[in-house]
Chain A
Amino acid sequence: MNRIPVQEVRRSLQIRILRHNPHDPASKPCLQTFELEEAESMTLFIALNEIRQTMDPSLQFDFVCRAGICGSCGMIINGRPGLACRTLTRNLPECITLAPLPGFELIGDLSVNTGKWMRGMSERLETWVHQRDLDRADIDQLEERMEPDLAERIYELERCIECGCCIAACGTARMREDFVGAVGLNQIMRFRLDPRDERSDADFYALVGDESGVFGCMTLLGCEDYCPKDLPLAAQIAFLRRRMVATGA
């Protein structure tokens, strides 16, 4: 008979959370420990909800989709960036330390404003399709067909959920606040592939051809190793670097 394996002895987890409310002048950053019994197939999303429901309703953290699609639940899990909803507690030791993603404005506890950072990056790198006479386009007409292979390649890069893990994992981004990071460079590659975008490599060079762009990347590869969507970031950045050198130098 087929049986679903069940963990017999359940562990008692100690979850230490870095607590701080920057909007409260009296708040000082401190680690608070919560103890709870591990459940079968428990994710950090489930654990944190249990803590908020049964122990401390003031705990702040972000979730939307619970499926690794929205990118809201990025946090530092035992020192490494990752998505709470895709992290099973059984893959972690009994003592788990959680902290907010560095490099982003702290809202409170584990909640950070990645949206503000991503919007700033998006506006700076103009991550949208640039087309002449776009405002006069007839939206009732079918778009021009795209080769499935090209659509796949664009989709591969479009899978980025802007969770901020690559920024938190990047030593360069930690040191230099103006660095656009792998998320920004990946966006440039995505629009560079898109045939609807009429920008040339010279236009892209003007956006990322300096130390805050592709030439600021020191190939530390934290982005590649901690991307929860396994995007080929190192290869994309290497390709962009070659193209930008060919354009600029």
Chain B
Amino acid sequence: MPKTLSALSARMDLLQSLSGLLLVLFIWAHMFFESSILLGEDAMYAVSRMFEGEPLFGKPYPLLVSAAGIAVFLLVAVHAVLALRKFPGSSRQYQLLNRHLGVIRHEDTTLWYVQVITGFCLFFLIPAHLYTVITQPENIGPYASADRVWSERFWIVYALLLLTVHVHAAIGVYRLVMKWYAPTGVQAGRTRARLKRGMWCILAFFILLGTASLLTYMRIGYQHADSAGERYRPASAPVGAR
């Protein structure tokens, strides 16, 4: 009988997929909450207060947002470490891969390579975003966020993040299905084509949603630039609201 292999490979493979799936579900939910600004400042204000636990504890605790940010950061770190195993590890491997991609022009291999590139970009973009979330959780609100986006020039980070994270996530979900539950039978090809079409539709939806909300934050930030630092105060809110 052959040598005994450790369980580590199986666990790492499973954990890479699970952490990726959790992150995708998180980012999709995040997009809906973030785009509450499209419904107006009051809607976004209510969402930000909800995540600070106000409906539960009677008053907001921004530290809850910091805690969630740290949890997401740890999940990203686990996913990144596991995904790094699959990156080409030497100049020779990059050379072989690039030659292979250039010659074969295979769509799914290219999709994986796009994930490698976007994944690499996310190593830098995600910490930039999470750092502000973790260290300034109280600065999330209709005016506070819009000021950060416009007056602090964060729209550049968010625009890049929007594109890379959703490309990475949509391709990731399609590849996750193919990795664990690839369709079989006579309809396998058709099912796979549908999955891929679904991937493009989901990607287009979140890019549009994210662009619309980012533009809205930019517009509010631009209009509010002269009063940057001032917090949003809904008519019904007590003094100190943002």
Contacts and interface: CB of A to CB of B under 8 A. Distances in A.
A234 interface: yes
B180 interface: yes
B236 interface: no
B10 interface: yes
Contact of B188 (A174, A222, A232, A249): A232
A245 B88 contact: no
A175 B10 CA distance: 21
Interface stretch (B92-100, B202-210, B222-230): B92-100
B10 A245 contact: yes
Contacts of B6: 210
Contact of B10 (A215, A225, A234): A215
Contacts of A178: none
B232 to A, nearest CB: 46
Contacts of A215: 9-10, 12-13
A146 interface: no
Given A219-B175, A219-B179, A220-B108, A235 B86 contact: no
Interface residues of A, number: 39
Contacts of B112: 171, 218-220
A206 interface: yes
B16 to A, nearest CB: 10
B155 to A, nearest CB: 34
Contacts of B101: 171
B182 A235 contact: yes
B179 A126 contact: no
B10 A238 contact: no
A245 B181 contact: no
Given A206-B2, A235-B182, A248-B5, A211 B85 contact: yes
Main DSSP-derived SS at the A contact region = helix
A219 B171 CA distance: 12
Interface residues of B, number: 37
B189 to A, nearest CB: 9
A248 B15 CA distance: 13
A174 B178 CA distance: 21
Contacts of B183: 235
A17 interface: no
A122 B12 CA distance: 26
A102, A176, A221, A225: most-surrounded residue (chain B CB, <10 A): A221
Contacts of B109: 171, 220-222
Interface in A160-180: 169, 171, 174-176
B14 to A, nearest CB: 5
Nearest to A232: B184
Contact of A219 (B3, B5, B178, B184): B178
B235 interface: no
A76 B108 contact: no
B10 A222 contact: no
Contacts of A234: 178, 182, 188
A238 B2 contact: no
Closest 9 CB pairs of A and B: A248-B10, A235-B184, A234-B182, A249-B10, A221-B108, A238-B182, A219-B179, A215-B9, A79-B103
21 contacts: A79-B104, A174-B96, A175-B88, A205-B5, A206-B3, A209-B9, A219-B108, A219-B175, A219-B182, A220-B106, A220-B112, A222-B104, A222-B108, A222-B109, A225-B106, A234-B178, A238-B178, A245-B14, A247-B10, A248-B11, A249-B14
Interface of A: 76, 79-81, 102, 126, 169, 171, 174-176, 203, 205-207, 209-211, 215, 218-222, 224-226, 232, 234-235, 237-238, 241-242, 244-245, 247-249
